[in-house]
Structure 1
Amino acid sequence: MPRAGLRRLRSPRVWGPGGAVIVAGAVTAVALTAGAGPDTAATADGLPHTTVEISPGDCGRGWQHPHSGTQVFDLRNSSSGAAEVYLRGAGGGPVYGEVEGIGPGTTRQLRVRLGPGAYAFTCLPDDANATTGPTVRVTGGGPAGPAAAPVTQHDLIDPAIDYQKWVAGGLDDLVRQTEDLRAAVTDGDLAAARTAWLPAHLTYERLGAAYGEFGDADQKINGTTAGLAGGVHDPGFTGFHRVEYGLWHGESAAGLRAPAAALAEAVHALRDEWAQDRMDPAALGLRAHEILENTAQFELTGRTDYGSGSNLATARANLDGTRAVLVRLRPLLTTRYPELPRLESGLDRTGRLLDGFRRDGRWTPLDALSRAERQRTNAAVGDLVERLASVATLCDPRRTV
């Protein structure tokens, strides 16, 4: 499936009900009306607003009259550079909300629910050390909104190393399977080649969180015709889908020998290079989300079907790939993401749903599903994508200096 590439999450974030992460769009400050206190004002949203400075020299300035309950902080960056900001429990406590990428001269909003306790803003300008504002104590009211202990780059190193070793084992399997595919094509046994194609392709698809580290090799191994002027006949169309197209569109074994050999050689090269690579730990949580995001965008729409009708098998492999990441992130998520059991249950249900489309050893083509079956599948994967967005946010490493 095509890869979205590593994207940094750049939007206001706050832990919502049940610990889920609410991601809101950038919102500039609105006009204020009647004041609710010396440093707050009520707006059309009915909530008190407090304007807070986030520049390095004035981090947290303006929050002088704290109160409990749901409220909005209008975060004003009066410095000459971009910055991000966290609202945390005082003394390096859990994060209640954050906003990234606040440009110079820009005001962005952060909505949180505060209860009794001590809080402080931490401001992190680009290319400068973090600064922490004054501690502010809130009294009275109900409990504060959900919060999560920040994940650091160091926290992700061991999960990333373990995942990288797992990928190495998968690449060993992939080398053997693509060699089987090449041998069948070389022998002229196209029926055996069609049988060998799917297991090899699914092995590759299970390695989902590593695609960003594969670089140009991913395009050689699993690229599509997107952006190719010649479509399926373009010389740049290579890899699994090139072989798939030929196998299911009547191409001769002689015509497929070069594409099958190129695929096997690209896989060999990737396996050898992977032993020297180092996966970016910061990418792990984001990749867990992107795997199924791409599944919904490309596999469940049939955009990557070049004749085999195996999109649902690929979706199932992508589900396995997501689990492989979550297993390694689970120690970090257990104490940070209360919705983790529901996410895992959703993965189980979706797995059973997809498994039901494999009948008598054959996967149902996407276009053979009933409307109700497609709706159930899209809804199940869509729900997982939403939940995995929370995982991506929670596992996005926070700066501490």
Structure 2
Amino acid sequence: MSGAMDTAPKAASPAGGPHAPSRKAMRLAIAGSGLLLVIAFAAFYWATSLASRRKAAEAGDAVAVTVTDSACEPMDLTVPAGRTTFAITNRSNRAMEWEILDGVMVVEERENIAPGITQTIAARLAAGTYDITCGLLSNPRGKLHVTPAQAADAEPAAPALLAFIGPLAEYQVQLLTHAGDFAKATSALAQAVQADDLERARALYGTARLSYARLAPAADLFADLDTRLDARADDFGGREQDPLFKGLHRVEYGLFAQNTTAGLRAPAEALAADAHELDQRMATLPLQPDRMVSGAARLMHRAAGLEAMGGAEKYAHSDLADIQAEADAVLGIANLLRPLAQKASPGLPARIDADGAALSALLAAQRDGAGFPSFETVAADQRAAIAAALTTLGDDMDTLGAALGLTTAGRSAP
């Protein structure tokens, strides 16, 4: 028998070389086969539905919404299609956010509204029915009804999008890679929790957290999953004890605040399941140029607000690494759009580079031999400087959107 085996011809290698392609390569290849079609459809939809935005209404003409500890007042709004300004007043006892949701996608949002403060948000809305969030994630959602309006239909058409197809395709491949990394990291994290390996679970939490940070500019496109994956305890009435508190920060709380894996098996498994769902959904994510840029801008402004208030990683205090990963993702988007930006506003790419380098320098100054230290050790003036640099980079991305004809917001480029 052994002689027969020695003389038998060897099985032919799979096409493409002596080694079978990796599962990751196969996955990207399969996803890529339909990628341009998906993006072309998204671009067509965007081109036919997005118009250039008009100047926001005066504050006195804004639609007033008050958010209390338990609801919005009113819970049901009706406005005409087109540009509308909302004045959001926080009458609750916590900082909160107000969002307009179209299914699972965030259309517009205003974050970190302090108690007693009123902030405005301007949105251009197509006719239809939207959900609105009302403070805590455990609170019921309100409804926003947008009626057809002739003025909205008369606005000029958005720019042609053929030039955006390449950047969109490349960005979606990047998102596929990061989503795959996130799914793997959360699966390994769940296994470490099951094995009661606290130190390994802590290390894998950091890996998963950074993978998700690289996906964060696109989080508005999967708001339902983002709520489950990345909501903080302060977003719920019962805080850490609230049964709806799940996801990354629930696991973080157990590992770093309670210093144990006890009680984390179910939350870790749910986290891995949600990460897997995100990984599966990513191949058909409806990317559009305006979302690509506005998501990056909102991420930087959101991060600036969180860092100014003490950080998002309340228990692990790993904010510095998260900020670096998020900023790298945003700068990557700017780099994908660099050829278009250079034509539209020649000085803008260099300004984004300079502002990104300034943020990176602030972060690098905090590094020690082992990497980034706990955010608790960062002096207040340095936290303020980092928050200001994040705001500047967010402003740059707003300006990029305006320069490319995607929005009307932003600073004027030199």
Shorter-chain TM-score above 0.5: yes
Residues 158 and 257 of structure 1: CA distance in aligned 2, closer, same or farther (over 3 Å): same
Corresponding pairs, count: 278
Q: What letter is aligned with 2:368?
A: R
Give the corresponding residue for 2:380: 371
Give the corresponding residue for 1:145: none
Q: How far does residue 339 in structure 1 lie from its aligned partner after superposition?
A: 2.5
Structure with more contact order per residue of length (Cα contacts < 8 Å, sep ≥ 6): 1
Residues 25 and 343 of structure 1: CA distance in aligned 2, closer, same or farther (over 3 Å): farther
Partner Cα distance (2:394, 2:167) in 1:
21
Give the corresponding residue for 1:126: 152
Give the corresponding residue for 1:307: 315
Q: How far does residue 334 in structure 1 lie from its aligned partner after superposition?
A: 0.8
Partner Cα distance (1:213, 1:242) in 2:
22
Range moving further from structure 2, 277-286 or 216-225: 277-286
Partner Cα distance (1:307, 1:386) in 2:
29
Q: What letter is aligned with 2:153?
A: D
Q: Which structure shows the bigger proportion of residues in helix conformation?
A: 2
Give the corresponding residue for 1:213: 221
Q: What letter is aligned with 1:167?
A: L
Residues 398 and 196 of structure 1: CA distance in aligned 2, closer, same or farther (over 3 Å): closer
Structure 2: gaps of 5 or more residues: 1-49, 61-79, 85-121, 125-149, 409-414
Q: How far does residue 236 in structure 1 lie from its aligned partner after superposition?
A: 1.0
Give the corresponding residue for 2:283: 275
Q: TM-score, normalised by structure 1?
A: 0.62
Q: Secondary structure at the match of 1:305?
A: coil
Answer yes or no: is the 8 Å Cα contact 2:256–2:316 preserved in 1. yes
Q: What letter is aligned with 2:245?
A: F
Residues 398 and 341 of structure 1: CA distance in aligned 2, closer, same or farther (over 3 Å): closer
Give the corresponding residue for 1:88: none
Partner Cα distance (1:202, 1:188) in 2:
22
Give the corresponding residue for 1:381: 390
Answer yes or no: is the 8 Å Cα contact 1:299–1:315 preserved in 2. no
Q: How far does residue 239 in structure 1 lie from its aligned partner after superposition?
A: 0.9
Q: Work out which of the residue numbers 337, 342, 353 in structure 2 matches 1:344.
A: 353
Q: How far does residue 396 in structure 1 lie from its aligned partner after superposition?
A: 4.4
CA RMSD in angstroms, aligned pairs only:
3.3
Q: How far does residue 156 in structure 1 lie from its aligned partner after superposition?
A: 2.8
Residues 396 and 366 of structure 1: CA distance in aligned 2, closer, same or farther (over 3 Å): farther
Give the corresponding residue for 2:331: 323
Residues 100 and 317 of structure 1: CA distance in aligned 2, closer, same or farther (over 3 Å): closer
Answer yes or no: is the 8 Å Cα contact 2:51–2:156 preserved in 1. no
Partner Cα distance (1:9, 1:252) in 2:
52
Give the corresponding residue for 2:186: 178
Give the corresponding residue for 1:168: 176
Partner Cα distance (1:273, 1:362) in 2:
33
Q: What letter is aligned with 1:357?
A: Q
Please give the per-residue CA displacement for 1:262-299, whole angstroms capped at 9, x wherever unaligned.
11111011101222333233311212211211110123
Q: How far does residue 9 in structure 1 lie from its aligned partner after superposition?
A: 8.6
Please give the per-residue CA displacement for 1:51-81, whole angstroms capped at 9, x wherever unaligned.
xxxxxxxxxxxxxxxxxxxxxxxxxxxxx99
User: Following superposition of structure 1 onto structure 2, how do residues 80-119 of structure 1 map, counting pairs within 5 Å?
Assistant: none
Partner Cα distance (1:286, 1:369) in 2:
29
**Deviation >3 Å, runs of 4+:** 7-12, 24-28, 80-84, 128-131, 150-155, 395-399
Q: Secondary structure at the match of 2:363?
A: helix
Please give the per-residue CA displacement for 1:136-185, whole angstroms capped at 9, x wherever unaligned.
xxxxxxxxxxxxxx843444333222211110011111112112211211
Partner Cα distance (2:164, 2:302) in 1:
23
Answer yes or no: is the 8 Å Cα contact 1:300–1:311 preserved in 2. no
Partner Cα distance (1:227, 1:376) in 2:
26
Answer yes or no: is the 8 Å Cα contact 1:285–1:393 preserved in 2. no
Residues 81 and 205 of structure 1: CA distance in aligned 2, closer, same or farther (over 3 Å): closer
Verify: 1:393 aligned to 2:402, yes or no: yes
Residues 159 and 379 of structure 1: CA distance in aligned 2, closer, same or farther (over 3 Å): same
Partner Cα distance (1:177, 1:358) in 2:
24
Residues 82 and 168 of structure 1: CA distance in aligned 2, closer, same or farther (over 3 Å): closer
Q: What letter is aligned with 2:359?
A: T
Give the corresponding residue for 2:200: 192
Q: Secondary structure at the match of 1:213?
A: helix
Partner Cα distance (1:8, 1:364) in 2:
45
Residues 398 and 153 of structure 1: CA distance in aligned 2, closer, same or farther (over 3 Å): farther
Partner Cα distance (2:59, 2:225) in 1:
39
Residues 368 and 334 of structure 1: CA distance in aligned 2, closer, same or farther (over 3 Å): same
Partner Cα distance (2:83, 2:226) in 1:
34
Verify: 1:285 aligned to 2:311, yes or no: no
Answer yes or no: is the 8 Å Cα contact 1:300–1:312 preserved in 2. no
Structure 1: gaps of 5 or more residues: 1-6, 13-23, 29-79, 85-98, 102-123, 132-149
Verify: 1:257 aligned to 2:265, yes or no: yes
Percent identity reads: 26
Partner Cα distance (2:236, 2:365) in 1:
35
Q: How far does residue 355 in structure 1 lie from its aligned partner after superposition?
A: 2.5
Q: What letter is aligned with 1:168?
A: L
Partner Cα distance (1:167, 1:283) in 2:
14
Partner Cα distance (1:11, 1:218) in 2:
30
Partner Cα distance (2:206, 2:330) in 1:
19
Partner Cα distance (1:313, 1:25) in 2:
39
Answer yes or no: is the 8 Å Cα contact 2:297–2:397 preserved in 1. yes
Answer yes or no: is the 8 Å Cα contact 1:285–1:395 preserved in 2. no
Verify: 1:356 aligned to 2:382, yes or no: no
Q: Secondary structure at the match of 1:126?
A: helix
